[in-house]
Amino acid sequence: MKIRVFDNAHDAGVYVAALAEQVVERQAKPVLGLATGSTPIPFYQALIRLHQCGLDLSNVTTINLDEYIGLTPSHPQSYARFMWENLFSHVNIPETQIHLPNGVASDLEAECIRYDEIIRKNPIHLQVLGIGVNGHIGFNEPDDTLLSRTHIVNLCPETVASNARFFQHIDDVPKRAITMGVQAILQADQIVLMAFGREKAEIIAKAVFGEVRTDVPASILNLHKNVTVVLDKDSASELFDESGVLRRK
């Protein structure tokens, strides 16, 4: 596991965009696994700038981690809308190559199966992740077990409270979501975990230095051969001792 610490989120986003560019240039049909929330926005902004400077994304396929259940793609707080506003409307990725779970499917179990088939047919070259304050990746919440395949999840109170900042009232926050499972995440060739802000420092330390455990889902990334943790100074603050040396497990 590699750890990269930047002065700010902007610089971190530029670095992750450079990693994505390497994948896009190296692969004939690159597949990017994408995340939502405020954390990956600097990455999307930097990727848009690269596209404006000549990076062709027309061969890219994207697979998003998750979507709220009950929100249509046009809903202001749906992840489909988020991705359109923050990335897809600014680049030349064809809509037919953009994949997100359908949170208003009439048969949600069938939708999970459909999404797993998309992932199977499009192995992910680079998976970008954020991390929740409770350690979730995607919407794989802390639990006794972590499910391997795409599934329906009941969101933890911490997740609902954290996401409430995007809604007028906490009662408006959906309580369920569809999420990619941990197996698909771990099958990606390369994983980048992004985190910014002091509020993520404690969970980052647990994920990076703690034991692999289901109540800290992000800790499972320690089992992957190619993970880069991309942080700002605040989120990395508990990874270093007083002399600035990286702590060890």
- For 83-134, what is each residue's pLDDT tens digit? 999 999 999 999 999 999 999 999 999 999 999 999 999 999 999 999 999 9
What are the sequence ranges of the domains in the chain?
2-230
Q: Which DSSP category does 147 fall into? A: -
Q: Give the per-residue pLDDT at 243.
A: 66
| DSSP assignment of 8-65 | SHHHHHHHHHHHHHHHHHH-SS-EEEE--SSTTHHHHHHHHHHHHTT---TT-EEEES
Q: Residue 36 and residue 80: Cα distance in Å, rounded?
A: 9
Over residues 68-86, the pLDDT tens digits come to 999 999 999 999 999 999 9
How far is Cα 128 from Cα 43, in angstroms, rounded to an integer?
A: 9
Statement: the pTM of the whole predicted model exceeds 0.95: no
**Residues near 116 by Cβ (< 8 Å), separated by ≥ 6?**
149, 150, 184
Mean pLDDT computed over every residue of the chain: 94
pLDDT (0 to 100) of residue 206: 94
Task: Inform me whether the pLDDT recorded for 249 exceeds 80.
Answer: no
184 sits in which H/E element: helix 182-186
Query: Topology of domain 2-230, per CATH?
Result: Rossmann fold (3.40.50)
3-state secondary structure 203-241: HHHHHHHCCCECCEHHHHHHHCCCEEEEEECCCCCCCEC
Are the CB atoms for 112 and 178 separated by under 8 Å? yes
pLDDT in tens, 213-245: 999 999 999 999 999 999 999 999 999 877 677
Query: Choosing from 21, 59, 134, 202, which is the catalytic residue?
Result: 134
Q: In terms of DSSP H, where are the helices of 38-154?
A: 41-52, 79-86, 108-121
Please give the share of the chain, as a percent, with pLDDT higher than 70.
98
**134 counts as catalytic:** yes
Active-site residue flag, 136:
yes
pLDDT exceeds 70 at position 248: no
Output the six-digit token pair for 81.
């809308």
Q: What's the pLDDT at 125?
A: 98
Which entry of 111, 141, 232, 238 is annotated as an active-site residue? 141
pLDDT: which is higher, 173 or 239 = 239
To the query of whether residue 10 is one of the catalytic residues in this protein, the response is no
Does the structure show a pLDDT above 90 at 171?
no
The one catalytic residue in 51, 99, 125, 136 is 136
> Which of 51, 64, 66, 86 is labelled catalytic?
66
